[in-house]
A and B are shown apart, each in its own frame.
Chain A
Amino acid sequence: AQSVAQPEDQVNVAEGNPLTVKCTYSVSGNPYLFWYVQYPNRGLQFLLKYITGDNLVKGSYGFEAEFNKSQTSFHLKKPSALVSDSALYFCAVRPLTSGTYKYIFGTGTRLKVLA
Chain B
Amino acid sequence: KAGVTQTPRYLIKTRGQQVTLSCSPISGHRSVSWYQQTPGQGLQFLFEYFSETQRNKGNFPGRFSGRQFSNSRSEMNVSTLELGDSALYLCASSLSGVGTDTQYFGPGTRLTVL
List A residues at the B interface (Cβ < 8 Å): 32, 34, 36, 41-46, 49, 51, 90, 99-108
Tell me, in angstroms, the Cα distance from A84 to B33 when the chains sit together: 29
Q: What are 7 A-B pairs at a CB distance below 8 A? A: A43-B106, A45-B105, A101-B50, A102-B45, A103-B33, A103-B103, A107-B42
Evaluate contact between A101 and B107: CB separation under 8 angstroms: no
List B residues at the A interface (Cβ < 8 Å): 4, 6, 31, 33, 35, 42-43, 45, 48, 50, 55-56, 58, 90, 92, 97-98, 100, 102-108, 110
B107 nearest CB across to chain A (Å): 5
- Compute the total of residue contacts between A and B using a CB distance below 8 Å: 54
Tell me, in angstroms, the Cα distance from A98 to B90 when the chains sit together: 25
Residue picked from B90, B103, B107, most chain A C-beta under 10 Å: B103
Tell me, in angstroms, the Cα distance from A100 to B99 when the chains sit together: 11
Residue of B nearest to A36 (CB): B105
Residue of B nearest to A6 (CB): B42
A88 nearest CB across to chain B (Å): 10
Evaluate contact between A101 and B97: CB separation under 8 angstroms: yes
Q: A34-B102, A43-B4 are in contact. Are A101 and B43 (CB under 8 A)?
A: no
A102 nearest CB across to chain B (Å): 5
Evaluate contact between B43 and A43: CB separation under 8 angstroms: no
